[in-house]
Structure 1
Amino acid sequence: MERVGLIDIGTVTTRAAAMDVEDGEPLFLARESRVCDLGRGVDATGQLDPEAIAAVLAMVDEALGFFAENDVHIAGCFLTSAARDAKNVEELLEPLRQRGLAPEVIEGDVEGALTFRGAAWHYPDEPLIVADLGGGSTELTYGTWEPGAENNQPANVEWVHSFELGARRLTDRFLSKNDPPARDEVFECRAYSRVTIENHLPWVGEEVTQPERLVVTGGTATSLVAMKAELEPYDPAMVQDATLTLDDVDEQCQRLASMTESERAGIVGLQPRRAGVILGGALLLGELMRATGFTKVTVSEADGLTGGCLAVYGAAHGQPGPIGFMPEVVDPSARASQ
């Protein structure tokens, strides 16, 4: 058994995990997330906000402290959509390097494949479409998890596409002028999301056969489950494999669209700091379901954090991850001991 760590810096949420891996099976020792909102304003300005950078680095320092206390000697650090878009991303990357990390700004297809690897192992031998609804981008990935596959590559990814659609991006673009947003702003957000997704679906061009299950990961989907069940405190076991119907999502969209951001912050089951982007994410999920033809989705707690940890573990043993991705691995304790 080996212990690996990952710091995953997303557009809305920064997350860290330590995982024990035995015979390729993941077992989380701990995982932590914080809404740092790194992508706030990036869609309009192309710049990361200094306060958001500081919030991310504070979370990273806590994660590195946890790694040191728990003998994590294999670790990776990934950044996603906001970092891909920001012109001043070096203002974040350099402090990460100074902390002994090897930060990698991963492309959308890698992000989608890692999320597929993290989510799909719960559904062996079942063709799946996995959607990762993020803050700045959304990835759709089609494939099958095949236990016992050769070369320790059970995640058979056949198709992946990254959309520039996310809870933060849509909020900034369509829903930030009024609080609550006007009806036409909500309509424009829905329409833009729907058309963008419909133009890139593999079964429309008969590249693949449409699967029977759509698995959705990310803070929007998990929050909607928690809101529906009024989970306080949040319970991952109640969220994993939960079902959201299109009626559930539409009901929450109607509710959220009628509330101010401060009112949303008081909803039981919703992290208060996610109140500013939850409507954009919920509208996106509803249009994703309509565009793909699914009236219900399976929500997964296992996601790119799981897939990323497994990729870090594989890279430490010379094994590339899904679609050939080989992350750079460091010993986070090396700098601390210098």
Structure 2
Amino acid sequence: MRQAGVLDVGCHSALLTVVRSRPGHVMEPVFSHKVRLRLHETLDRKGRLDDAGVESVERAVAQAIASDPRLRGTDMFAFATSVIRDAPNRDEVIRRVARRTGTQLSVLDGEEEARLAYVAARQWVGPAAGRLLVLDVGGGTVEIASGTGDQPNSVHSLPLGARRITRDWLPGGIAPSKQGLTEIRRYLRRKLEAVPDLPRAEPGTRVLACSKTFEQLARLAAARGKAHRSQRRLALSQLHACVPVLAAANPARRAKLPGISRHRAEQSLAGALVAEALMEACEAKAVEVCPWSTREGLLLEHLAALHDTPGGPESHRTERTGKSDMGVGE
């Protein structure tokens, strides 16, 4: 039985996920191992990883790869998200990781991440769902994709991620005055309004949110509700109510709020502001939280390629980003 693996190296963790195809299952989990990272604490004002940050990535990748002795028989794709992709010393980080671990980290551009998130979301809801609008708030960027088929009709990636907004507007994660929050909202709205052909949640569109940011905000909103509410749905009105709660607390206090993890507490306010602006710009009154995103899109396409399914990962990546070898990084 063929297996596929993805090593996802992000700001907060290096996560190795191995799955296999099995009759009756889209993909069946085989193995998962997470190594915690705190790369946001190792970035300078320009987004460059310091030496301690690079060393932590080297250790995390080595530990993740060593965690599964069966990995040698697995088709594995290792990639780094925006915290490394957008770093001025990206090439140095990739080179050092390869030299120490033998693992070549690839980087996917934002539009490719948006496409893969859509692929995963489409598989998760099924073809009968009709038109999809997929929103993903990451640390460095925001991804938006929409379409009616297996592949999206439009993809967008914008440098408005929660970590970036925290760095530029909310140093230390501390909320400014009410006027300061208003200025951030105006900035986000202006950036989103400038996007040509930004997809909207037209009638009949199913809006899915694929990110930890939306997932944690949905949990916070559900916990604050007077009656039982689903943690898999987040209404814009609920999100509006969460912003002042997050703004009134410092990161240490936010980490004690329902749904907000300690390692994401500092950027949780920025994440809420970005999610709010994104839903408003796309005219989405509510989103459904989807547990699958870019990583699962990669796994799905790699499994399809292993079974010689037409339109596997190489053909999509070559068409959209010019990369033809899924094992070679930039």
- The TM-score with structure 1 as length reference comes to 0.81
Query: How far 1:178 moved relative to its partner?
Result: 7.3
Question: How many angstroms apart in 1 are the aligned matches of 2:28 and 2:7?
Answer: 16
1:192 aligned partner:
187
Residues 46 and 3 (structure 1), Cα distance of their counterparts in 2 relative to 1, 3 Å cut: same
Query: Which runs of no fewer than 5 residues in structure 2 stay unpaired?
Result: 225-229, 318-323
Q: Does 1:137 align with 2:134?
A: no
Structure 1 stretches of 4+ with a deviation exceeding 6 A read none
The CA deviation string for residues 282-307 of structure 1, in whole angstroms up to 9 with x for no partner, is: 11001111111111001111111111
Question: How many angstroms apart in 2 are the aligned matches of 1:250 and 1:186?
Answer: 13
1:151 aligned partner:
none
The one-letter code of the counterpart of 1:328 is M
Question: How many angstroms apart in 1 are the aligned matches of 2:221 and 2:302?
Answer: 34
1:164 aligned partner:
159
> Greater shift after overlay, 63-72 or 127-136?
63-72
> Greater shift after overlay, 53-62 or 118-127?
53-62
The one-letter code of the counterpart of 1:257 is A
Residues 178 and 138 (structure 1), Cα distance of their counterparts in 2 relative to 1, 3 Å cut: closer
Query: Which runs of no fewer than 5 residues in structure 1 stay unpaired?
Result: 146-154, 232-237, 331-338
Query: How far 1:129 moved relative to its partner?
Result: 1.1
1:181 aligned partner:
176
**Which of 250, 265, 268 is equivalent to 2:240?**
250
**Which of 131, 149, 156 is equivalent to 1:127?**
131
Residues 329 and 314 (structure 1), Cα distance of their counterparts in 2 relative to 1, 3 Å cut: farther
Query: How far 1:212 moved relative to its partner?
Result: 1.6
The CA deviation string for residues 126-174 of structure 1, in whole angstroms up to 9 with x for no partner, is: 21111111000011011234xxxxxxxxx22211010011010000011
**Which of 276, 279, 290 is equivalent to 2:266?**
276
The CA deviation string for residues 13-41 of structure 1, in whole angstroms up to 9 with x for no partner, is: 44321111236822223445566243557
Question: How many angstroms apart in 2 are the aligned matches of 1:93 and 1:327?
Answer: 16
* 8 Å contact kept, 2:139–2:162: yes
Question: How many angstroms apart in 1 are the aligned matches of 2:239 and 2:189?
Answer: 15
The one-letter code of the counterpart of 1:300 is C
Q: RCO (CA 8 Å, sep 6+): is it higher in 1 or 2?
A: 1
The count of residues paired between Structure 1 and Structure 2 equals 311
- The TM-score with structure 2 as length reference comes to 0.83
Query: How far 1:110 moved relative to its partner?
Result: 0.7
Query: How far 1:226 moved relative to its partner?
Result: 2.7
Structure in which a larger fraction of residues adopt helix? 2
Residues 211 and 12 (structure 1), Cα distance of their counterparts in 2 relative to 1, 3 Å cut: farther
The one-letter code of the counterpart of 2:280 is R
Question: How many angstroms apart in 2 are the aligned matches of 1:97 and 1:44?
Answer: 26
1:106 aligned partner:
108
